[in-house]
Structure 1
């Protein structure tokens, strides 16, 4: 079986399920047969409250369609990046076939050859026109798609209403307004951090960069 560590955003799930098999033609419309084979999937714990029922259903449906067994292994976010890096360095036999990974890990893993380019597979499936652009971009590097959207979190910006009223500022609605507002606050309120990022939460600031 070819090994596919396919990116997912913290926020995405990789599309590599069609990789199972070695080109054998099955009896269901000529689809790839995975009979007797196992698809290893790494899923992060904590993304969803209890993913086990969902993946049990997916595994049953996948086996019925392809004949392959889906083996889900749950990983911890705190140690996952190091585990992925070690697995990639260890070669194809060490990495999972499909994996959920953090958005910011996509470039790192793709540049080291740890991810499979699924651009053509996504186009052939017709899914490329049915993806949220921002999420698809997070799984793309240099025009090639390595990850499929799986899970997205909506972020919110909070601001001090009293400080904004004090300086006659309005809530920003564009990137430029956000930057301009932050610069004004930096000048007017030197004792404050105009755009703070919580410690250990760099992933929240990365999209702004």
Structure 2
């Protein structure tokens, strides 16, 4: 049996034992708890507050105060940076020989490849590591060892404007053909953008993956090799070009120039009938009186077997040698209370089995249940590949060309695919 699969099987058994209260001895022996003198950990984290407030800073301040009360020999200094800056700033710190002890950012693979991170095995107690949802733990692996620990996650169901659908006499779609039919009805009633298809450079790699999965494809094949121009992927983009873009059902802005942020703003303003949604959009739409319906992403012939998941990552750097203290801190970060607090406050999904189970039964988070339902079987982008950043950028800049009226999906995906294979060879 594959070593990584064997380890995940062992961790899964441990998680099951934890749920039955059988791991007191394991946790006591395997934990990295206890204090070891005066140590100051430096944490750099991303800012999730969409309104420009200080909710992320307050979360970390409260968490650190509670942690330090239990670990009097350890201090934690927190620096919260915007998503526009945080990945670049951490890269600069590492390059300058001033790596933080802990970073909560968007990617981990380059640091893992450079042997700059502790493996999760070296940091977390077994019950904590065993508690990650399977697809998220697997996505955190570089060469079959987990270095990236998922911090929060999201999935993307289809959002639709209930009032616009009602006026158009449209039904929530379950297949691509039904989606196109609903878009035609919305267009006939004067909806400016029946379906928003943001394939612009902000997040085209995610929007595209949602469609690829719903068409039975994906960025990689069963052996985790890039398969960008697979037959299934080409068929998906041919359908988008012909049945949505070609029939003027995607609004006045060309998909290749439409960014997610603009698409979400238009949906919240009542100008969009449907789009592939994100938990953070729910509050903004509600503020403006838009009644949002949610259904699983339609597939070519029905609900797809796999949907897309996205995760942000937290990791421990080796440079300062604080393995034990970092482990203690991350064990604390991943307690149910802390995981649920951050995910719930930001309309995101918890990354652990126990916290997800609790959220599913909490009436306060009923609007997130459709997201939670698909997360355990979700597929994430190939973030464990050091080539993914380069491939992702290529997708962001070029994938929109595949759906232009004169565009050729096979040619566009072929060019991206050949470049991806070359980048993969260089890993």
TM interval, short-chain normalised: 0.5 to 0.7
Alignment correspondent of 1:43: 45
Q: Is the 8 A contact 2:154 2:309 kept in 1?
A: no
Please give the secondary structure, in 1, of the residue aligned with 2:85.
helix
- 2:87 aligns to what? 81
Label 1:142 to 1:192 Cα distance change in 2 as closer, same or farther (>3 A).
Answer: farther
Give the structure 2 partner of residue 63 of structure 1: 68
> Hey, what does 1:5 align to over in structure 2?
none
Flag the 1:192–1:78 CA change in 2: closer, same or farther, 3 A.
farther
How big is the shift at 1:42?
A: 0.9
Q: Which has the higher contact order (CA 8 A, sep 6+)?
A: 1
User: Counterparts of 1:32 and 1:117 in 2: how far apart (Å)?
Assistant: 20
Q: Is the 8 A contact 1:45 1:75 kept in 2?
A: yes
Candidates 154, 164, 180, aligned match of 1:163:
180
Aligned to 2:241: 186
TM-score, normalized by length of structure 2?
0.33
Summarize deviations over 1:56-105 as a string: whole Å, max 9, x none. Answer: 332222222222111111112112222111111122xx111111111xx2
Secondary structure (helix, strand or coil) at the match of 1:152 reads: strand
Contact persistence 1:42–1:99 (CA under 8 A): yes
Helix, strand or coil at the partner of 2:150: coil
* C-alpha spacing 1:176/1:90, structure 2 compared with 1 (3 Å): same
State the superposition RMSD in angstroms.
Answer: 4.0
Structure 1 equivalent of residue 390 of structure 2: none
- Report if the CA contact (8 A) 2:140-2:147 is conserved: yes
Question: Normalization by structure 1: what TM-score?
Answer: 0.62
For residues 8-157 of structure 1, the aligned pairs below 5 Å read 31-46=33-48, 50-67=55-72, 68-91=74-97, 94-102=98-106, 105-122=107-124, 124-157=125-158
**SS of aligned partner of 1:61:** helix
Contact 1:183–1:194 (CA under 8 A) maintained in structure 2: no
Deviation at 1:34, TM superposition (A): 4.5
Structure 1 residue 200: deviation in Å? 7.6
Structure 2 unpaired stretches of 5+? 1-30, 160-172, 185-210, 218-231, 262-307, 311-379, 383-427
* Counterpart Cα distance in 2 of 1:30 and 1:181: 48
- Max radius of gyration: which structure? 2
Question: Residues 192 and 142 of structure 1: is their aligned pair in 2 closer, same or farther, counting only changes over 3 Å?
Answer: farther
- Structure 1 residues without counterparts, runs of 5 or longer: 1-28
